[in-house]
Amino acid sequence: MDSVDRSWVAAVWPRPQAHDDKYSRGVVGIVAGSEAYPGAAVLVACGAARAGVGMVRYVGPRRAQDLVLAYRPEVVVHDPADASDRLPHASAWIVGSGVADHPGQDAVIGAALASGTPLVADAGALEACVRSRAAGARQTPPDRVLLTPHARELVRALAAIRHDVTLADVERDRAGHARLLAETARATVLLKGSRTIIASAGGAVVELEEAPAWLATAGAGDVLAGIAGALLASGLSAADAGAAASWVHARAAEAASGGGPIVALDVADALPAVIAELLLGS
């Protein structure tokens, strides 16, 4: 991947075939949201479902379960206590968006990190994932783990593995610090911002074109995590999933905005039409 443009994204985006079923198209497991932030669970689930994954499983507290089912009745929900005893089958996991202190969810996140399954680690799971991988617990290969910090989360993730940097340091060299985290944690890093950066553990770095400024809105990163998780579940590498998800996420924001303000759910709702236009035009 030298650059990310429409033709590249269309070439890598998964298309269902006649022989596919919901399992072969990919199953995403989600540990997100909480009693305090149940909306994060909805946004991740909507991002994954609208991006075209075959099935979505959600693990979280009852309040978040109810909200997820209100928006996405096709999602299969699991109680954290049951899921921590036996991790539900998933082709990829998305963990950390909007999580708070919940022992059951923490146990499921730990199980997902140790499962060897491809995963997206966002927000509340970033530091745990980085610490465990930096310490040598790398059941999932580097090209199947996608870390999705914004700049402040990148500072905290690096601090968790004893690299003390400031926000100003990161802003002066976003690509260099994304690469540092990727190399140290042996993972792929998607550094969110107006120009998203994808850094791989092997040292490769790709910078995407500037996204719409209206995309700087609460919950947009949760939708992005859902899209990326859907692509990981379909078999894409972490770098390809992160880059393709970021490109489509930005195009969905443009379509939803039309030049005006948007909220995160608008971006998720715009995904099917944007993806259809991408694939039909390729």
CATH number of the domain at 179, please: 3.40.1190.20
Q: Is 15 inside any structural domain?
A: no
How many domains is the chain partitioned into structurally? 1
pLDDT, tens digit only, all 282 positions of the chain: 678 999 999 999 999 999 999 999 999 999 999 999 999 999 999 999 999 999 999 999 999 999 999 999 999 999 998 887 889 999 999 999 999 878 889 999 999 999 999 999 999 999 999 999 999 989 999 999 999 999 999 999 999 999 999 999 999 999 999 999 999 999 999 999 999 999 999 889 999 999 999 999 999 999 999 999 999 999 999 999 999 999 999 999 999 999 999 999 999 999 999 999 999 986
Q: Is 263 inside any structural domain?
A: yes
Q: Is 150 inside any structural domain?
A: yes
Q: Is 5 inside any structural domain?
A: no
Q: Is 194 annotated as a binding residue?
A: yes
Q: Is 150 annotated as a binding residue?
A: yes
Contact 178, 187 (CB under 8 A): no
Reading the block at residue 274, the tokens are 């944007």
Q: Is 2 inside any structural domain?
A: no
pTM: 0.97
Q: Is 34 inside any structural domain?
A: yes
> Within 13 Å and on the Cβ side, how many CA atoms surround 135?
9
Contact 205, 182 (CB under 8 A): no
Q: Is 123 inside any structural domain?
A: yes
Reading the block at residue 175, the tokens are 């690509």
The predicted pLDDT at position 282 comes to 65
Q: Is 6 inside any structural domain?
A: no
Q: Is 140 annotated as a binding residue?
A: no
The predicted pLDDT at position 104 comes to 86
Q: Is 166 annotated as a binding residue?
A: no
Residue 179: domain span: 23-280
Q: Is 19 annotated as a binding residue?
A: no
The predicted pLDDT at position 137 comes to 87
Q: Could you give the CA distance from residue 116 to residue 271 in angstroms, rounded to a whole number?
A: 29
Q: Is 233 annotated as a binding residue?
A: no
Closest to 57 (Cα-Cα) out of 27, 22, 96: 27
Q: Is 235 annotated as a binding residue?
A: no
